[in-house]
Amino acid sequence: MDYTIVVGLEVHVQLLTRSKLFCGCPNRFNPDEPNTQTCPVCLGLPGSLPVMNRRAFELSLKTAIALNCKIARFTKWDRKQYYYPDLPRGYQISQYGLPFSHDGWLDIELEDGEPRRIRIIRAHLEEDAGRNLHDESGRGRESRVDLNRTGTPLLEIVSHPDIRSPAEARTYLEELRLLLTFLDVSDCNMQEGSLRCDANINLHIPREDGSTVATPVVEVKNMNSFRNVELALEYEARRQFAEWRDTGETIDDVSKQTRGWDAQRAVTFAQRGKEEASDYRYFPDPDLVSVTMTDDEVSVLRKAVCEFPAARRKRFQDELGLSAYDSQVIVSQGGSFADYFEQTAEQCGDAKQAANWITQDVQRELNERHCGIEDFALPAAVLADLLKRVQQRTLTTSSAREVFSLLVVSIDNGQPVDADRIDAIVQERGLATVSDTGELDSVISAVIERNEKASEDFRSGKQAAIGRLIGEVMREIKGADPRTVRTRIIELLG
């Protein structure tokens, strides 16, 4: 590559609070009823006064602790002045000079297994603006404003420009989203705007004399998925390099620019020049008191934070013997999914077996039902009971899978599922492992007699021929153990 990509990300996360940041209006996604979740405070009407949402501040602190940030013992609120139709006050309440947290990091692992540490400049709270809705489909072009989102609590997480590729940016965002959902501070639904990302990108291009030239910084907006972030950065890197070759302009020649991302055409497009801090005319908000934190308060929050995804992946490998791949698959599905796995593994006593079933059979059911593990009604204890029967060889794996499917059907029909239900299904379907070797030998002998060619092929050294014999025996005796069947066929053919 003829250049190094340099990326820093600004991630806005909508917090899971019942009410907005400075008023009591509900904090929920509601595009179908515009301008129904507003009040004098979030509309900025004269005489209205904001009051800080304590829960929003606690969720933000929890996130900052998880991001290894330093927590400020004193922080204040600032007014960020700018005018848009979706900002009723004409300013946004944010944090500028004294954010509540700073200087943290998030560790990620790249596809080749290499660890990378992305430094966090700051994480601060601010209120969201509303939404401008533009309709250009008909003759009468019009714009509307929905202020339902105005005043919802946002946590802005700003990274250092430590990211060196579009794929690395995507990995960082995926790990950050996983952490936020583990902490239960946000649902991170990008389609609803609960997680939004702006990407700052430029290139460092080596010169023949050994020095390096930097291209102008561009902030890319309007990306509604991690894949679009990756695609936008790939395109923007190529565009910047081509423009530098044409114009020779560097970071010292051109001010920062904001560009949008057009997903349909897969291109970025110029929007405006980027404002500097002085353009926003920050000053302390006179209506809100400063926030102070004691060491004891920070310590209590630090102890209450859950086990982080990276630590859980490592523990699953070190303590439960899972592979890095299995640990990644389980933890990436979220904290509740990992909890379900851990409960199953603990009760059945075989973590690898539990991982196989949960990542295959359970996950398939969740995908078909379009639901999460929280809505899956099969208790972990019942699944563990089923897996123990496979270990004890009272059920074959194929029989256990049939029982599993029937347990799910039982739940759909409103029947209770427990050990008794497993016993009933096994008895009704005749799925118990056959322990009567006389019955087994009788069936095997009949199968050998019906399949003379396959039997002779196996005797002559064609190992694959035994598959046909095993298959026929298994079809006749549902509860037969494949390993036992194979052993007895070989003995009888010998």
DSSP state of 359: I
Evaluate whether residue 302 is within a structural domain. Answer: no
Evaluate whether residue 213 is within a structural domain. Answer: yes
Give the end of a domain, one of 373, 407, 429: 429
In this prediction, residues 239-247 reach a mean pLDDT of: 95
Rounded (5°) CA angle 102-106-110: 155
Per-residue model confidence as pLDDT tens digits over 148-177 = 999 999 999 999 999 999 999 999 999 999
Share of the chain above pLDDT 90, in %: 70
What is the maximum span of the chain, computed from C-alpha positions, in angstroms? 96
Per-residue model confidence as pLDDT tens digits over 71-116 = 999 999 999 998 888 999 999 999 998 999 999 999 999 888 889 9
Evaluate whether residue 198 is within a structural domain. Answer: yes
396, 432 contact by CB (below 8 A)? no
Please indicate, yes or no, whether residues 442 and 417 belong to a single structural domain of this protein: no
What pLDDT score does 283 carry?
Answer: 93
Residue 273: how many CA atoms within 13 Å on its side-chain side?
Answer: 5
Please indicate, yes or no, whether residues 356 and 256 belong to a single structural domain of this protein: no
pLDDT band (50, 70, 90) for residue 143? confident
Give the end of a domain, one of 296, 330, 352: 296
On the question of pLDDT at 482 being above 80, the answer is no
Evaluate whether residue 275 is within a structural domain. Answer: yes
3-state secondary structure of 259: strand
Please indicate, yes or no, whether residues 136 and 179 belong to a single structural domain of this protein: yes
Evaluate whether residue 301 is within a structural domain. Answer: no
What pLDDT score does 420 carry?
Answer: 92
Please indicate, yes or no, whether residues 311 and 282 belong to a single structural domain of this protein: no
Evaluate whether residue 105 is within a structural domain. Answer: yes
Please indicate, yes or no, whether residues 316 and 229 belong to a single structural domain of this protein: no
Give the end of a domain, one of 388, 411, 429: 429
Evaluate whether residue 251 is within a structural domain. Answer: yes
Please indicate, yes or no, whether residues 201 and 346 belong to a single structural domain of this protein: no
Please indicate, yes or no, whether residues 313 and 251 belong to a single structural domain of this protein: no
Mention every residue, 6+ apart, whose C-beta is less than 8 A from residue 490.
466
Task: Report the alpha-carbon distance of residue 389 to residue 481 in Å, rounded.
Answer: 13
> 456 or 374, which is more confident?
374
What pLDDT score does 439 carry?
Answer: 67
What pLDDT score does 435 carry?
Answer: 57
Separation in Å, CA 12 to CA 37, 243, 421, 448: 21, 30, 48, 68
In this prediction, residues 248-257 reach a mean pLDDT of: 91
220, 267 contact by CB (below 8 A)? no
Query: Helices in 184-225 by DSSP H: which ranges?
Result: none
Please indicate, yes or no, whether residues 25 and 130 belong to a single structural domain of this protein: yes
Residue for token digits 């609120």?
Answer: 77
What pLDDT score does 248 carry?
Answer: 92
Please indicate, yes or no, whether residues 155 and 92 belong to a single structural domain of this protein: yes
Written as six digits, the tokens of 299 are 């310590």
Residue 404: how many CA atoms within 13 Å on its side-chain side?
Answer: 25
Written as six digits, the tokens of 36 are 């129904």
Instruction: Answer positive or negative: Cα dihedral of 245, 251, 257, 259.
Output: positive
In this prediction, residues 386-399 reach a mean pLDDT of: 90
Nearest to 54 by CA among 27, 25, 19, 10: 19
Please indicate, yes or no, whether residues 289 and 220 belong to a single structural domain of this protein: yes
Residue 321: domain span: 307-429
Total number of domains in the chain: 3
Please indicate, yes or no, whether residues 184 and 240 belong to a single structural domain of this protein: yes
What pLDDT score does 449 carry?
Answer: 79
What pLDDT score does 250 carry?
Answer: 94
DSSP state of 24: S
Please indicate, yes or no, whether residues 41 and 165 belong to a single structural domain of this protein: yes
Evaluate whether residue 408 is within a structural domain. Answer: yes
On the question of pLDDT at 436 being above 60, the answer is no
pTM of the model: 0.84
On the question of pLDDT at 212 being above 90, the answer is yes
The CATH number covering residue 455 comes to 1.10.10
